[in-house]
Structure 1
Amino acid sequence: MESTQTVPINQKKTDKYPKSVPYIIGNEAAERFSFYGMRSILPTFLVAQFFNPSSNPAMQTMAEAQANEQTHFFVALAYAMPLVGGILADWFFGKYKVILYISLLYCIGHLTLAIYDHDLQGFTFGLVLIAIGAGCIKSCVSANVGDQFDESNQHLMSKVYGWFYFSINAGSVFATLMIPIIYAKYGSAWAFGVPGILMALATFIFWLGRRKYRKVPPSGIQRNNFLFISLYALANVGKKKKGESWLDVAKANFKEESVEGVKAVYRVLMVFAFIPIFWAMWDQNLSEWVLQAAKMDRTVFGIELLPEQVQTVNPMFLLSLIPVFTYIIYPFFDKLGLKTTPLRRIGTGLFLTACSFVIIALIQEQIDNGGSPTIWWQILAYFLLSAAEVLVSITGLEYAYTHSPKAMKSTMSAIWLLTVAVGNIFVSLVNSSIANKGFFAQLEGATYFWFFVGLMMAFLLVFMLVSGRIKERSFIVNEAEA
């Protein structure tokens, strides 16, 4: 039989986009500019302003470790907060109120950075406010896009999401090109003030569309969720019958469908257990790699780039590589009989991440020996890291979505973001140990990057042993058949 439209009789299919779309796209572009703009100069600013203002070579290693510790803690907090923001929106206040009011807190954070650019305690407080703001609204803004559509125009959703993600990368690219120049020419107050102005603009744009949005009301506290079911099962694990999963005992007090959904989440977590090491290394391209770039020959086609501007190649490579992998590389290997399953893609991505750090470690060895290698070597490392991002990040999001039931998809999105937080917490702790002359203080110069290469290879080996035993179940197929 031919498929039928699900559009109600009184609701005809339309090619008109929701009137709220321009406000959402404009808000996202300005917000991402503000976030990536301040983050682009954060590690170099912390070293120059607070941890080694006299540029004493004897203090540089410790100063960089302190800057990296604070930068990665900031990122970890920003990616832990989406879970909180999602709960606030879904259970209590709705997405619109959370985005609007938390954005005001976000603006205050930017203002605090600009005012306290000579006071470490005040500056750190500003970072915390920005992390809370950026994190809490992160889980709401993308979902708010989907909320604007109904049966009449849902066929336009993918195009709008395309523009939405384009605005994210556009904001990132322009910010990482412009803010380092402002920092170099006009100082830190303006360099942190301009992102604050953009965040205020983002909030204003969002507020302007207040009468255009379709606002989904909060649903209240959902009893049948991942946390409640897991805690109940752990508390009653002694009641488990032979042959049952430890989660099956929760079926006595929760919906069977929800318990099965939680089981699916734990299966995905077996894969996610290998993702934090990827983010621990990936996020160093916005901190440790920037500090390394400051010691390199950054001349590209006759133009000397600022250290913070080099990271711009990442989103550029990413946008170029996504269609290459999707339309060329994956189909090529599939035709050869080497099916590019999600687990194989992730494993390959982890390997490429290690390769990018091999290049960074070799660069650092030259720097440690007094050399000034060309920035083209670091750009090559960025290329490999961007390819790894396509293989790990995009595949991981797809895997989380397809291998979790409908009721648990939001939970999986939040847990995915938590893998970013966990990875950054680890790097923050390593740098804290270096700064305080602890166990990891032995990781000086190139040894630091070789440590992460070895760690990734160890994770990759375990991943190869475990991935073959992971049971895969696509809920897209099952839900479509239901």
Structure 2
Amino acid sequence: MTAVAADAARLPRQVPYIIGNEACERFSFYGMRNILTPFLVSTLLLYAPEAERAGIAKDVFHSFVIGVYFFPLLGGWLSDRFFGKYNTVLWFSLIYCAGHAMLAAFEGNRTGFYTGLFLIALGSGGIKPLVVSFVGDQFTQANKHLAKIVFDAFYWTINFGSFFASLLMPILLREYGPSVAFGIPGVLMGIATLIFWMGRKQYVRVPPTRGEDPDSFFNVARTALTTRDANGSRPGLVVAAAGVVLAVAMLLCWAIEAIAGEGTLGVWPRDAGFVITACLALGVLIAAGGVGTSMQLERARGRHPDAAVDSVRAVLRILIVFALTTPFWSLFDQKASTWVLQGAEMRVPHEAWWWPSFLVREAAQMQALNPLLVMLLIPFNNLVVFPALRRMGFEPTALKRMGWGIAISGLSWIVAGLIQLNLDGGGATSLAWQTLPYILLTLGEVLVSATALEFAYSQATQAMKGVIMAFWYLTSTFGSLWVLLTNAAVRNETVTSRIASTGLSENAFLMFFFAGFAFLAAAAFALYARRYPMQDNYRAA
């Protein structure tokens, strides 16, 4: 066997270091994430009136999620422009470890604990867009056919770690306290960093591009926006500039209100804190920049290759698809906040012979259903459901799957709302009933999340795939933004009086509200999907 054939027949020796790093990091992340809401309500927020703790806990949790999915922009930029993937992953991992240490050390100190959450969001988000692509860097044309094995291992590692973290960490929090419960994920993150560092001499390190691609997404967009037509006009640039002015004005209004004291001047909503304001400003920038670029994109032809211009057009179209999935994430991420709080009001059916009392003893552990079901549903869909649909003459295209996934997630919240109505009526409700909304939500997840990556890959050209991944992570950021906006709205007396007039509790009303939000998004998604021009940007054989 030749040396080339031998290399093609085996996985790169450095890959196990990256897989080991991913396994420990994912257990670390989900371990702390899945006990965050119970800890906040039961320990850190005891200073607040009992009726307000759940709302504050949801604000903290979803602000954290926003950070986790915003900071991939920073990590990807630093890696591409300056430091490369290896150095960026290593340094952000050290920040990640410091964040875990602060959670364990400052369990009773809000400033210290929130600083730890910020560092974890920064570290986790910073490495998120890099690890998978770093794996791809280790393969060559000779053994690229083995890369799928590694990516499958990544997928199973994520869900395997999430499953056991969801089961074990609530038990550790209850039995040993927050220092141990938050300390163990910190130890695992330290091990993850050590494993990654141990492979340093074997990694293939692709040097950073340092922004030197003249036909990158942002260079093409800049050319389009700054090029005048025959009359010297640039309406697209006006739209983009208006977005910048509006975004800056929003941040300034927040800053003025914060300096003067919230609610003092009335120039910005009292409950719209920095996180909400910054996310809204980012959304305005993306929307105005996208619309402005789309208006003038053809002006970039001639100064950039047609393929680069067409790629930017494809990205702008994909952004609309992504925007319509953000309501799904507002529902999905609340399984670790709203559903955990609902489950705490339910009765654990220890008396039932079929209930695994030795393992599942409290509501937070129900989150383990999600990764378990993901591992079961994806192969079931691919091997059973989708082939059956094709035999019936129905082709489950990527866009159809995503649209149905959003709608099914809305159905899961209808079921959660019905459970809440029973709780509000004083009924003793078994925690086992939460299994049904978890099944529906997870089915929605595998139809939306897994399919969206496949869809984006096929629609974006090779040069634009990195940009697409950065925007994909932002869908979770804006999903949590909708939750924060809703939480802020229900602190308004006018809104709460309207909710009271429906005869529903605030919790039940919001559950049905989010279900309706998903159904509306699914309808809009279906309308856009009907006229979306599908592309095929897979590499030629």
Is the TM value for this pair above 0.5?
Answer: yes
State how far apart, in whole Å, the 2-side matches of 1:255 and 1:92 are: 26
1:255, distance to aligned residue in structure 2 (A): 3.5
- The reply to whether residue 33 of structure 1 matches residue 89 of structure 2 is no
1:341-399: CA deviation from partner (whole Å, max 9, x where unpaired) = 11111111111101100010011111112223112221111111111111111111111
Q: TM-score, normalised by structure 1?
A: 0.92
Distance 1:237 1:121, change over 3 A: farther
Given the superposition, is the C-alpha separation of residues 285 and 235 from structure 1 closer, same or farther in structure 2, using an over 3 Å criterion? same
- Is residue 263 of structure 1 aligned with residue 313 of structure 2? yes
Q: 1:192 aligns with which of 168, 182, 203?
A: 182
Report how far residue 102 of structure 1 moved: 0.7
Q: CA deviation at 1:438?
A: 7.5
1:226: which partner in 2?
217
Distance in 1, matches of 2:507 and 2:390, equals 41
Name whichever of 114-123 and 299-308 sits farther off. 299-308
The answer to whether the aligner puts 1:104 opposite 2:67 as a matched pair is: no
> Residues 155 and 37 from structure 1, CA distance in 2 versus in 1: closer, same or farther, beyond 3 angstroms?
same
In the alignment, is residue 209 of structure 1 matched against residue 199 of structure 2? yes
> 2: distance between equivalents of 1:145 and 1:22?
10
Q: Distance in 2 between matches of 1:16 and 1:203?
A: 25
Correspondence for 2:526: 464
- Verify the 8 A CA contact 1:65 1:432 in the aligned structure 2: no
DSSP 3-state at the match of 1:246: helix
Structure 2 gap segments, 5+ residues each: 235-293, 500-505
User: What is the alpha-carbon distance in structure 1 between the residues aligned to residue 60 and residue 330 of structure 2?
Assistant: 14
Q: Which residue of 1 aligns with 2:349?
A: 299
SS in 2 for 1:48: helix
Equivalent residue number for residue 323 of structure 2? 273
| Structure 1 residue 396 corresponds to structure 2 residue 452 | yes
Pairing 1:340-419 to 2, within 5 Å after superposition? 340-419=396-475
State the distance in 1 between where 2:417 and 2:222 align. Answer: 44
Once the two structures are superposed, residues 284-317 of structure 1 have per-residue CA deviations (whole angstroms, 9 ceiling, x without a partner) of: 1111111111111222634152221110000000
> What letter matches 1:214 in structure 2?
V
Q: CA separation of 1:265/1:183 partners in 2, compared to 1, >3 Å: closer, same or farther? A: same
In 2, the alpha carbon distance for the partners of 1:329 and 1:365 equals: 33
**Which residue does 2:514 correspond to in 1?**
452
In the other structure, the counterpart of 1:3 is: none
Residue 336 of structure 1: aligned partner: 392
**Structure-1 residue corresponding to 2:140:** 150
Partner of 1:66: 56
- Contact 1:65–1:435, Cα closer than 8 Å, also in 2: no
Does 392-401 or 115-124 show the bigger shift?
115-124
Quote the offset at 1:11 in angstroms: 3.1
Which residue of the partner structure matches residue 421 of structure 1? 477
Residue identity matched to 2:36: L
Indicate the RMSD between aligned Cα atoms, in angstroms.
2.2
Q: Which residue of 2 aligns with 1:117?
A: 107
The amino acid of 1:258's aligned partner reads: A
Work out the CA distance in 1 between the residues paired with 2:173 and 2:228: 57
Relative distance call for 1:212 and 1:198 in structure 2 (3 A) is same
Shift of 1:78: 0.5
SS of equivalent to 1:136: helix
Q: Deviations over 1:139-198 (max 9, x none)?
A: 011111111111222221111111122111121111111111110011111111111111
More divergent stretch after superposition (436-445 vs 149-158): 436-445
Partner of 2:74: 84
Residues 141, 260 of structure 1: CA spacing in aligned structure 2 closer, same or farther, 3 A cutoff?
A: same
Paired residues, what number?
466
Change (3 A) 1:189 1:334: same
Change (3 A) 1:432 1:42: farther
Question: For residues 313-338 of structure 1, what are the alpha-carbon distances to aligned partners after superposition, in whole Å with 9 as ceiling and x for unaligned?
Answer: 00000100001111111111112111
The offset of 1:232, in angstroms, is: 3.5
Which letter does structure 2 place at the counterpart of 1:266?
Answer: L
Structure 2 vs 1, CA of residues 44 and 442 (structure 1 numbering), >3 Å: closer, same or farther?
farther
Q: CA deviation at 1:220?
A: 1.2
Corresponding letter in the other structure for 1:22: P
How far apart are the structure 1 equivalents of 2:428 and 2:17?
46
- 1:434/1:441 contact within 8 Å kept: no
Correspondent of 1:317 among 373, 379, 385:
373
CA distance in 1, matches of 2:454, 2:443: 16
**Aligned counterpart, 1:15:** 9
Q: What amino acid is aligned across from residue 210 of structure 1 in structure 2? A: R
Using the alignment, how far apart are the partners of 1:440 and 1:402 within structure 2? 45
The separation in 1 between residues aligned to 2:165 and 2:40, in whole angstroms, is 18
Work out which of the residue numbers 332, 353, 368 in structure 2 matches 1:282: 332
Q: 2 CA distance for matches of 1:356 and 1:258? A: 41
Distance 1:406 1:471 in 2: 18
Q: 152-161 or 355-364: which moved more? A: 152-161
SS state at 1:118 partner? coil
CA contact (8 A) 1:30 1:171 kept: yes
Q: Pick closer, same or farther for the CA change 1:135–1:437 going to 2, 3 Å.
A: farther
- 1:24 match: secondary structure: helix
* Distance (Å, rounded) in 2 between the aligned partners of 1:238 and 1:324: 54
Aligned partner letter, 1:273:
A
5+ long unaligned stretches in structure 1: 1-8
* 8 Å CA contact 1:106, 1:132 repeated in 2: yes
Deviation larger for 15-24 or 317-326: 15-24
2:4 counterpart letter in structure 1: Q
Task: Report the Cα distance in structure 2 between the residues aligned to 1:409 and 1:189, rounded to whole angstroms.
Answer: 41
Q: Quote the offset at 1:233 in angstroms.
A: 2.1
* CA pair 96-71 structure 1, distance change in 2 beyond 3 A: same
Give CA-to-partner distance per residue, 1:415-453, whole Å, 9 cap, x none: 111111111122122223435767478661200101111
How far is 1:459 from its partner? 1.7
**C-alpha separation between the residues in 2 aligned to 1:438 and 1:426?**
19
> Which amino acid is 2:166 matched to?
T
Q: 1:67: how far off?
A: 0.6
Distance in 2 between residues matched to 1:297 and 1:434, nearest whole Å = 27
